Amino acid sequence: MPIIKDGALIEDNWTLLDEEADVPSSADIIIPLNVMLEKAERLSNHSGRIALLISNDIAVEDHADLVAKADMVVLELPAFTDGRAYSQARVIREELGFDKELRVKGDVLVDQAAYLQRCGFDSFDFDGEFDAETWKKSSEIMTTGYQRTYKDELETRS
Amino acid sequence: MYVYDDFDEKFVRERAAQFRDQVERRLSGKLSEAHFRPLRLMNGVYLQLHAYMLRVAVPYGTLSSSQMRQLAMIATKYDKGYGHFTTRQNIQFNWPKLKDLPDILDDLADVGMHAIQTSGNCIRNVTSDQWAGVAADEATDPRPYAELMRQWSSLHPEFSYLPRKFKIAITGASSDRAAIAFHDIGLQVLKNDAGEIGFDVYVGGGLGRTPMVGKKIRDFISLDDLLPYLVAILRAYNLEGRRDNKYKARIKILVHETGVDEFKAKVEKIFDGLEKDKLTAPAGEIERIQGFFTLPDYQAAEANPETFTKARSENAAFDSWVKRNVAAHKQAGYAIANISLKPIAGIPGDATDEQMNLVADLAEKYSFGEIRVSHEQNLVLAHVKEEDLFELWQALVPAGLATANIGAITDMITCPGLDYCALATARSIPVAQKISEKFADQKRQEDIGDLKVKISGCINACGHHHAGHIGILGLNKKGEEYYQITLGGSGDESAAVGEIIGPGFSGDDVAGAIDTLVNRYVELRDEASETFLQVVKRVGLEPFKEALYADH
């Protein structure tokens, strides 16, 4: 499945690790937090990159050490109306200081692009169809914002 | 009042363009109604029983004459010639077409207005005291901080998909006219002995199906820490508020289920971890905003001038209007003139385009071109010279805008009810009209004194019935509308939730029941100055129950 990163559609090379699956040790894998907590020893010989998938009912600050070690963090948007990941993202960026890729996965709407980017997300894994033109328009239409946020490129009142 | 600079203007124009794009995608079928819904709601667009409804933000209830004229123009051009002022100090138009909405937003942007977040599960229009800046009992003008919060909350990237809507109110006066105890966050602005501004913070108040009075969780948070503290509360709510049941999703339920002490501890923990410098307003911004809220250029005016006292003694109707509708002002020789939108048997809160234009003109002539909307759905001219009051009143009379009933029994808050609203279970407006007719006699109203009646057409309580001295809730049983009555609620600094008095009444019988309750009150009061609410608090519900139900 392609994902959007830095505004462009790219082929995704991360594999989601479910509990029993065998993956080559060189693969880039996404590991759910609970698997990471229970079976971290399985990863001792893993040579590929490791991303952490955190569901939206988790207090991310309780797992600061795992976030710090991750090559990517993935947060979930089970429904586009469920805004918990927006707050999780800001905590991960602004309080835990995580500066690698932060991805949102799930029911992402193009009209949410700008809000998500401002909260610190830089890659997007859509459930549905993706319309690149609308995405671009939607994420560029607002050039101003009242709030100062993580790596914000909007014009704010200084 | 606040005036947009280039930055505000650009922001609002871009937002209007964004919504135009969303509407175009909806109309072309690219966007489904399910996905369009939260987007339109965040821009104040509802789908009601008969049509789309657009709710326009009137930040903390303040309008200029030119803004009011533009609202009148919108009512004429896109609606049926009227608008409806709401309990969030906003105005809503009941008959616009979806295809016209982007043009309306452009028209609003022309006068520095918008419809951002007047609906949806986000931070709603911040409300305040309609007498802010001029009330005789005010310690500090809350409007600069209301404006600061308007800007901070607009298209907030983190708080636009909350579990449920989120309402903030702020007052700077000792008498609470903004009902801060019934808000998700209520703020009381204070000034300490050193002259510094601070805010007492209340959280978890609300009406709806589970009415609760807010609890204080912070004393005197400093001005620099205000926005970070709001972020901490909103973040705690966004992460932990219930999303499994929309009726349990407001912050009041989270505070109640968590316990206020534990909730406060969570907020404080988040607050301590915040990079506050980044979350507060940039240096100089608060001073810039405060600069818009200096007092207007009052002239030296005599208090109680002879022309005014003479007009009062010679004209009983004017005298009645002054007694009920004119309030004390900070500045000697000036007064606050309240314009009732509750004519006898009218639709509470409605104003025609002609009335809006007239009020705009009168504001320009007598009140520095500024108008306020109250949460009780009336209008206010906040700076009228006492010697101008008689002329002002004479201009209001022929337009049907001189009803002398502010705070009286016919000055009811009423939700749109089943005449407009898709959620309503019963009609509200016809019930209000019948009560209004029943108590039309001016002498009787004056004898009854202060009495707040509030009517909601469903359990969501948009008509604030829980906070009414007499509350009326419209319900539906087996296809029949009926109305439950509560007594003893209050929305001011003595905030309380009303108690149900007994079995409900049919729509035809409600006005009679209110009449019975009022007659009982008149018998029970110790002296004319003892209000209905004071009597209910003193004697309890029993004597009223007896009056209503003894014969049945």
Q: Which two tokens stand for residue B277?
A: 């410098």
* Residues B168, B233: Cα–Cα separation, whole Å: 12
Instruction: Write out pLDDT tens, residues B488-503.
Output: 999 999 999 999 999 9
In a domain, B362, yes or no: yes
B37 with B106, same domain: the answer is: yes
The pLDDT, as a whole number, for residue A158 is 66
CA dist B130 → B4, B66, B77, B175 (Å): 21, 19, 28, 12
Domain boundary (B359, B376, B399) is at B399
ipTM (interface predicted TM): 0.96
The pLDDT, as a whole number, for residue A1 is 65
Least confident of B124-133, B148-157, B530-539, B543-552: B543-552
Instruction: Write out pLDDT tens, residues A80-89.
Output: 999 999 999 9
> Would the CB atoms of A87 and B17 count as touching at under 8 Å?
no
User: B46: which strand partners?
Assistant: B53
Q: Which of A95, A138, A144 sits opposite B11 (nearest CB)?
A: A144
The pLDDT, as a whole number, for residue A42 is 73
The pLDDT, as a whole number, for residue B105 is 97
> Would the CB atoms of A118 and B157 count as touching at under 8 Å?
yes
Task: Give the range of the structural domain holding residue B42, as residue numbers without chain letter.
Answer: 6-110
Whether chain A has a CB inside 8 Å of the CB on B239: the answer is: yes
The pLDDT, as a whole number, for residue B70 is 98
User: B56: which strand partners?
Assistant: B91
Whether chain A has a CB inside 8 Å of the CB on B284: the answer is: no
In a domain, B184, yes or no: yes
**Does residue B38 or residue A59 have the better pLDDT?**
A59
> Would the CB atoms of A81 and B14 count as touching at under 8 Å?
no
CA dist B281 → A63, A94, A117, B225, B486 (Å): 31, 17, 21, 10, 43
Q: Which two tokens stand for residue B384?
A: 């009228």
* Residues B298, B133: Cα–Cα separation, whole Å: 13
Q: Which two tokens stand for residue B271?
A: 């607050």
Best mutation target among B151, B158, B233, B246 (most A Cβ atoms within 10 Å) is: B158
Per CB-CB distance under 8 Å, the chain A contacts of B102 are none
Report residue B394's pLDDT band, with 50, 70 and 90 as the boundaries: very high
* Residues B164, B160: Cα–Cα separation, whole Å: 10
Contact B439, B410 (CB under 8 A): yes
- B223 has a pLDDT exceeding 60: yes
In angstroms and rounded to an integer, the radius of gyration of the C-alpha atoms of chain A is 16
Average pLDDT, integer, range B355-363: 98
In a domain, B538, yes or no: yes
- A93 has a pLDDT exceeding 90: yes
Mean of per-residue pLDDT scores for chain B = 95
Per CB-CB distance under 8 Å, the chain B contacts of A59 are 239
B246 with B146, same domain: the answer is: yes
Per CB-CB distance under 8 Å, the chain A contacts of B14 are 141-144
Helical H runs in B172-328?
226-240, 251-258, 260-273, 276-279, 285-290, 306-314, 316-325
The pLDDT, as a whole number, for residue A21 is 64
User: CB within 8 A of B430, min separation 6: which ones?
Assistant: B419, B507
B388 with B427, same domain: the answer is: no
Task: Indicate which CATH number applies to the domain containing B177.
Answer: 3.30.413.10
Supply the DSSP symbol for A110.
G
Give pTM, 2 decimals: 0.95
B433 with B367, same domain: the answer is: no
User: CB within 8 A of B327, min separation 6: which ones?
Assistant: B131, B135, B136, B335, B336, B338
Q: Which of B18, B162, B278 sits opposite A141 (nearest CB)?
A: B18
B357 with B484, same domain: the answer is: no
> Would the CB atoms of A59 and B273 count as touching at under 8 Å?
no
Domain boundary (B367, B399, B431) is at B399
In a domain, B276, yes or no: yes
The pLDDT, as a whole number, for residue B235 is 98
- B512 has a pLDDT exceeding 60: yes
* Residues B368, B1: Cα–Cα separation, whole Å: 10
The pLDDT, as a whole number, for residue A157 is 83
Q: What domains lie within chain A, and their CATH numbers?
A: 2-140 (3.20.20.70)
* Residues A135, A80: Cα–Cα separation, whole Å: 15
> Would the CB atoms of A146 and B21 count as touching at under 8 Å?
no
- A36 has a pLDDT exceeding 70: yes
B183 with B270, same domain: the answer is: yes
Instruction: Write out pLDDT tens, residues B399-426.
Output: 999 999 999 999 999 999 998 888 999 9
The pLDDT, as a whole number, for residue B551 is 65
In a domain, B323, yes or no: yes
* Residues B413, B390: Cα–Cα separation, whole Å: 27
Q: Which two tokens stand for residue B294?
A: 């200096």
In a domain, B126, yes or no: no
The pLDDT, as a whole number, for residue B462 is 92
Average pLDDT, integer, range A144-151: 88
Average pLDDT, integer, range A84-110: 95
Residue B194, min C-alpha distance to chain A (Å):
28
Instruction: Write out pLDDT tens, residues B74-106.
Output: 999 999 999 999 999 999 999 999 999 999 999
Torsion from C-alpha of B541, B547, B549, B550, nearest 10 degrees = 120
* Residues B421, B119: Cα–Cα separation, whole Å: 14
B284 with B139, same domain: the answer is: yes
> Would the CB atoms of B160 and A86 count as touching at under 8 Å?
yes
B312 with B268, same domain: the answer is: no
Average pLDDT, integer, range A42-61: 91
Neighbours of B78 (CB within 10 A): 17
* Residues B270, B267: Cα–Cα separation, whole Å: 5
B479 with B429, same domain: the answer is: yes
Least confident of A3-7, B83-87, B256-260: A3-7
Whether chain A has a CB inside 8 Å of the CB on B158: the answer is: yes
In a domain, B408, yes or no: no
- B552 has a pLDDT exceeding 60: no
B425 with B534, same domain: the answer is: yes
Report residue B180's pLDDT band, with 50, 70 and 90 as the boundaries: very high
CA dist B506 → A156, B421, B426 (Å): 55, 20, 11
The pLDDT, as a whole number, for residue A19 is 60
pLDDT > 70 fraction of chain B, expressed in percent and rounded: 100
Neighbours of B511 (CB within 10 A): 19
Contact B453, B435 (CB under 8 A): yes
B197 with B316, same domain: the answer is: no
**Does residue B73 or residue A35 have the better pLDDT?**
B73
Phi/psi for B140 (5° steps) reads: -145, 140
> Would the CB atoms of A149 and B7 count as touching at under 8 Å?
no
Instruction: Write out pLDDT tens, residues B436-461.
Output: 999 999 999 999 999 999 999 999 99
Domain boundary (B340, B364, B399) is at B399
Phi/psi for B180 (5° steps) reads: -65, -25
- Exposed / middle / buried, residue A116 (Cβ in 10 Å: 0-12, 13-18, 19+): buried
pLDDT > 90 fraction of chain B, expressed in percent and rounded: 93
- A61 has a pLDDT exceeding 90: yes
In a domain, B263, yes or no: yes
Per CB-CB distance under 8 Å, the chain B contacts of A76 are none
Domain count, chain B: 4
* Residues B30, B24: Cα–Cα separation, whole Å: 8
- B216 has a pLDDT exceeding 70: yes
E strands along A7-63, which residues?
Answer: 8-11, 14-16, 28-32, 50-54
Measuring CA to CA, which residue among B172, B168, B34, B57 is closest to residue B105? B57
Instruction: Write out pLDDT tens, residues B365-377.
Output: 999 999 999 999 9
User: B47: which strand partners?
Assistant: B52
Q: Which two tokens stand for residue B96?
A: 């616009």
Task: Indicate which CATH number applies to the domain containing B68.
Answer: 3.90.480.20
Helical H runs in A1-158?
33-38, 64-69, 84-90, 113-118, 132-140
B143 with B54, same domain: the answer is: no
